[in-house]
Chain A
């Protein structure tokens, strides 16, 4: 069984790599390709949510916080690199409230600090909140509300500290990305290739995690936390790993979003975008590996396409998606695929997917 699965996974990985690296850059215009880069960043967040929510039952409604931490860390570095050594970023000079760079901006001038920080900073915040919350067995809807409140608090803080964070405008208007001119379409393509490569890497990590003993344990915690506890494991640690991993993925996504799209601001990381990350995962299939990625890209694409022409209609459609998919198709589109496969004649013996079907019992009250 294992041999067959790794064979299939290898083929799937190769197909994905060919589509992302060979077909898309040829078939799409520069503009479309940079849009795709944006969608792929959202898909990275979705991979993490799929792990934490689909496999672990942790409804993380505040992934925008981690996306934002990664994004702001990268944006701060790029702002400082644009400004040159010892200089203040343009927007700080504009507001004119500060004489010198705030102390917490200083380390981001070094890429050796800023780049690891895009991933480690979100993981640290997730670790702090998660270890406080999971150890005291705060769970279910309580956890969802707290993670959402974190997003609200972060946005309020960013807007309130306008002089040092850019406020509602956020950080934007970047010129260079590690010495490469971002206005040059060739360099935009380079950013796209980095984004696509990182997404594939995250998928490999997520797959290995899901198929490891840890992945089994995570599903077990989702389906019967008390039983896992009675077996001698500590469910708090199991959940913490999933939450921190998802936070790191969201941070990386935010960090790549900044050069790919050219902006990070509070409207991209607040409550609404945080919950929009979740809908793509739900549409694609929360417990599957590829479902969240495809769902996130599809929903982000639909949003761009529809909301330009019919902004009102898109909001209705988005609301309906939430209602219909979550209420009546909790396994997402991935469960439809599984349904079709099951209808096949029994010449195909082994169960097709190791992913458990989402059942009503999966949620802890």
Chain B
């Protein structure tokens, strides 16, 4: 029983990481209908932000907290730049955007290699995150996993409230639901796109900060996690955050439970099979926007 509970907790914390990574992606994918392959490199940028800040501020705990907003801004600005320079020109060609942003991600990876060196770097974890919380003798929850879970929940709550109650959120929803109608209603869709990209990419930066607690920082760290995040977005459906939330936690739990009974590699393959099977049932993802368009 405790094994099951502790595997479930592992699953939830895998899900929290997935969710943090996928949240920004789901926002930008829903907004523009484009897949941003460079999203993984924005995560990397967030992680390197922690590394740089720790060089300046030696206190690990303080620098981590400072890194959250700074990484958000750094990754967000990179996203805005990408949107402004390339993505808005490829507006009607989503598949081409995918390839173009892949090219951008190659360039960013090499930039990271040239600036920080090819080997992985490590940051020191703050004291308040190194411990564990013991619930029973068998069930131990590590503090950094709990921190990431809190971060993911906070991000979801902030994004949900922001989309529902602020005027920017209303505009974003309007553009997602019907871009042309939003435009003729006087919403500056271009500016809304750019702001959405800022927030979505900024969330990638926050995810990067969280990933520094789990492993080393390296030029290819984004590529390693991005595919799982794409699968979350595809299976969750676009235009709704709750789809991504449910799918992220479901996939995390599934992976942790299968991993327990088989191996990591078999678990990854089974998760893929599960997603293809799931898309048989819901080809557009868990939640979809009901529109009249055929495509």
* CB closest chain-A residue, reference B96: A326
- Chain A residues 257-288 with CB under 8 Å of chain B are 271-272, 275, 278-279, 282
Interface residue B58 (Cβ < 8 Å from any Cβ of A): no
Interface residue B151 (Cβ < 8 Å from any Cβ of A): no
| A149 and B283 within 8 A (CB) | no
| B106 and A136 within 8 A (CB) | no
Interface residue A234 (Cβ < 8 Å from any Cβ of B): no
Interface residue B81 (Cβ < 8 Å from any Cβ of A): no
Bitwise, B93-117 to A at CB < 8 A (1) or not (0) is 1111011101111110110011000
State the majority secondary structure of interface residues on B.
helix
- A337 CB, min distance to chain B CBs, angstroms: 20
Interface residue B192 (Cβ < 8 Å from any Cβ of A): no
Which A residues are in CB contact (< 8 Å) with B94? 140-141, 363, 365
Interface size on A, as a range, is 35 or more
Stretch among B3-11, B200-208, B223-231 lining the A interface:
B223-231
- B260 CB, min distance to chain A CBs, angstroms: 16
Interface residue A159 (Cβ < 8 Å from any Cβ of B): yes
| B231 and A160 within 8 A (CB) | no
- A289 CB, min distance to chain B CBs, angstroms: 21
- Chain A residues 151-168 with CB under 8 Å of chain B are 152-153, 156-157, 159-161
Interface residue B139 (Cβ < 8 Å from any Cβ of A): no
| A363 and B231 within 8 A (CB) | no
State the CA gap A365–B93 with chains docked (Å): 8
Looking at the complex, which one of A140, A150, A160 makes contact with B264 (CB distance below 8 Å)?
A160
A159/B96 contact (C-beta < 8 A), A145-B35, A316-B107, A319-B110 known: no
State the CA gap A315–B114 with chains docked (Å): 11
Interface residue B1 (Cβ < 8 Å from any Cβ of A): no
| B103 and A365 within 8 A (CB) | no
State the CA gap A161–B102 with chains docked (Å): 29
- A295 CB, min distance to chain B CBs, angstroms: 13
- A224 CB, min distance to chain B CBs, angstroms: 10
Looking at the complex, which one of B100, B230, B280 makes contact with A149 (CB distance below 8 Å)?
B230
Interface residue A172 (Cβ < 8 Å from any Cβ of B): no
Interface residue B294 (Cβ < 8 Å from any Cβ of A): yes
| B110 and A312 within 8 A (CB) | yes
Interface residue A364 (Cβ < 8 Å from any Cβ of B): yes
| A330 and B93 within 8 A (CB) | yes
State the CA gap A113–B263 with chains docked (Å): 30
| B265 and A160 within 8 A (CB) | yes
State the CA gap A148–B226 with chains docked (Å): 11
- A56 CB, min distance to chain B CBs, angstroms: 12
Interface residue B57 (Cβ < 8 Å from any Cβ of A): no
State the CA gap A364–B96 with chains docked (Å): 11
* CB closest chain-A residue, reference B282: A136
- A5 CB, min distance to chain B CBs, angstroms: 29
Interface residue B272 (Cβ < 8 Å from any Cβ of A): yes
* CB closest chain-A residue, reference B106: A319
- Chain B residues 254-295 with CB under 8 Å of chain A are 263-266, 268-269, 272, 275-276, 279-280, 283, 294-295
A327/B96 contact (C-beta < 8 A), A133-B279, A149-B272, A322-B102 known: yes
* CB closest chain-A residue, reference B35: A141
* CB closest chain-A residue, reference B265: A160
Which A residues are in CB contact (< 8 Å) with B99? 59, 275, 278-279, 282, 322, 326
- B246 CB, min distance to chain A CBs, angstroms: 18
| B89 and A327 within 8 A (CB) | yes
| A159 and B265 within 8 A (CB) | yes
- Chain A residues 53-105 with CB under 8 Å of chain B are 57, 59, 61
| A157 and B231 within 8 A (CB) | no
| B280 and A136 within 8 A (CB) | yes
Interface residue A173 (Cβ < 8 Å from any Cβ of B): no
State the CA gap A160–B264 with chains docked (Å): 8
- Chain B residues 164-183 with CB under 8 Å of chain A are none
State the CA gap A178–B102 with chains docked (Å): 40
| B283 and A137 within 8 A (CB) | yes
**Can you list 5 A-B contacts (CB < 8 A)?**
A138-B283, A149-B230, A226-B295, A327-B100, A363-B96
**Nearest 10 CB-CB pairings of A with B:** A160-B265, A322-B103, A319-B106, A319-B107, A136-B283, A323-B103, A315-B110, A360-B92, A153-B272, A319-B103
**B→A interface (CB under 8 Å):** 29, 33-35, 86, 89-90, 92-96, 98-100, 102-107, 109-110, 113-114, 223, 227, 230-231, 234, 263-266, 268-269, 272, 275-276, 279-280, 283, 294-295
